[in-house]
Amino acid sequence: MTELRILPLISSATEIVHALGLGAFQVGRSHECDYPAEVLNLPVCTRPAIAVSGSSAEIDALVKERLRAALSVYEVDAALIRSLRPTHIITQTQCKVCAVSLDDVQNALRDEWAVDAQIVSCEPYSLADVWKDIERIASACGEAERGDRLVADLKMRMAALKPPTDQRPTVAALEWLEPLMAAAYWIPELIEIAGGRAVTLADEPDVIVAHPCGFDLERTRAEMKGKGLTGRVYICDGNQFMNRPGPRLVESAEIFAQILHPEHFAATLRGVGWEEFPNGIGNLAAVEAAVLDKNFVGVRTGNDDAG
């Protein structure tokens, strides 16, 4: 039997591989794969085609420019991938903006005939899809039982988050800040599991949670200044949590639970995955103006691994 040589090209897939106990077989990574820490020593097989260190508005403009020109937002090092001799390459079909896509991989490897790897493509649009992706990766690697056990464990941990209360605060979750974009896909499910109800800014929510895709707490804190969002406002590490459709969606649901129901859930992830936004204490009088001023566009079409 050929020894596994796994190459995940999206950060959520790297986390899945390690949660399955297959991390020892990972031979490379994408530029976004940064957890667990040991993967940082692996060869980096992708890079962004745009500058990702700017503001959310600057990144948004650069992405739109690339897409208008029918260009990929990412570049794949096909020669390096060939040298790594992977047996499995894991990518995704969901969003060409947020992470290396199946098209990116296929285009890069078109002329690299020496690469004879099974391409496993994830398609996460909901929690059910995330569970299927875990099982798909495990099965492709010949470890279907590991996938079943991991999914069962994650579901059990999710079920334990149901708060013992009928109060369900309304929550506007933001996955991009310029322009303002509401989080979609699995995020409303996580809010529901955590004892909340997902709404938009226009609904004057009880709580606003900002977790821009690819941004850590420090970067999000800086971006939030001047947005005019008041009330119960919180920021999250949208790079490590919320936007990665893998095992740590459980921790993401825990973050929502800790924010929404502090009387029932200890703030174990405060300061690591979330914190209060200091200028957010007050009333929601400015929300409607913020919506109008920032051209709130509602639901974004992508939600994984940006930055």
Q: Which two tokens stand for residue 291?
A: 């919506």
CB distance 92 to 99 below 8 Å: yes
Of the CA atoms within 13 Å of residue 207, those in its CB half-sphere come to 23
Q: Any idea of the CA torsion for 93, 97, 99, 100, to the nearest 10 degrees?
A: 70
Q: The domain containing residue 108 runs over which residues?
A: 6-157
At residue 168, the pLDDT reads 96
Same structural domain, 137 and 182? no
Same structural domain, 126 and 17? yes
Least confident of 2-11, 106-115, 163-172, 222-231: 106-115
Of 157, 190, 208, the residue that ends a domain is 157
Same structural domain, 253 and 110? no
Kindly report the pTM of this predicted structure: 0.85
Same structural domain, 81 and 180? no
For residue 174, report the phi and psi dihedrals to the nearest 5 degrees. -115, 125
- CA atoms of 84 and 14, how far apart (whole Å): 16
Q: Report the percentage of the chain scoring pLDDT > 90.
A: 65
CATH number at residue 213: 3.40.50
At residue 102, the pLDDT reads 55
Of 157, 185, 214, the residue that ends a domain is 157
Residue 304 lies in a domain: no
Of 89, 124, 157, the residue that ends a domain is 157
SS3 at position 282:
coil
Same structural domain, 115 and 182? no
Over residues 28-46, the pLDDT tens digits come to: 999 999 999 999 999 999 9
**Which segments within the chain are labelled E, that is strand?**
6-8, 46-48, 74-76, 88-92, 118-122, 170-177, 180-182, 197-199, 207-210, 232-236, 274-276
Residue 77 lies in a domain: yes
Same structural domain, 260 and 142? no
Over residues 261-277, the pLDDT tens digits come to: 999 999 999 999 999 99
Peptide bond into 86 cis (omega under 30): no
